[in-house]
Structure 1
Amino acid sequence: MSPSSGSDEKRKTAVALSYELGGDRLPRVVASGRGTLADKILEIAFASGIKVREDRDLAELLSKVEIDSDIPTEALLAVAEILNYIYRTNGRLRSGGPK
């Protein structure tokens, strides 16, 4: 999940990602929205205990991706760093790979 916020011209943006650790598919965008829809995406994430990271540039890039599409290659490194942090925080990743 990656929210961003800005001025009135650039309303809050939220993007939700899905990834299966050890799967054969890249992370994909499963929800995206601005303004009220972004607030709802964040509300669902917080209520579900999903980790949220604020990254305005990444959210803007990913908000242009069609729903259920793989993330673009230019976002791979940033998303990989976020997923690595999340999986380590949740104890699902060791230095040698998936549990």
Structure 2
Amino acid sequence: MIYHVVSEPTWKAALDKGFYEAPSLATEGFIHTSKQEQVAGVLQRYYKDQPDLLLLHIDESKLTAPLKYELAPSVNQEFPHIYGPLNLDAVINITTI
């Protein structure tokens, strides 16, 4: 299982489109995701005090785009990156943050 943080309005727009593309897909070539033990750090570093956040629970075996684990030198940890749009059926649960 991997996880992705998204705003509720952004997720609702993805549901209308039928797939999800984070802004990072256009700028960096992939969608940032995390392992469960990395979520708290990601929230603290990048989403502090942001309202209306959701945590997508993604079954990586259902992804249609390639998944690669790559080192983030700033925190010296490997993070999962999705190299393409996120197919909605790979999201098996959504929790409010």
What is the TM-score with the length of structure 2 in the denominator?
A: 0.34
- Which protein, 1 or 2, shows the higher relative CO under an 8 Å CA cutoff with sep ≥ 6? 2
TM-score, normalization by structure 1 = 0.33
Larger Cα Rg: Structure 1 or Structure 2?
1
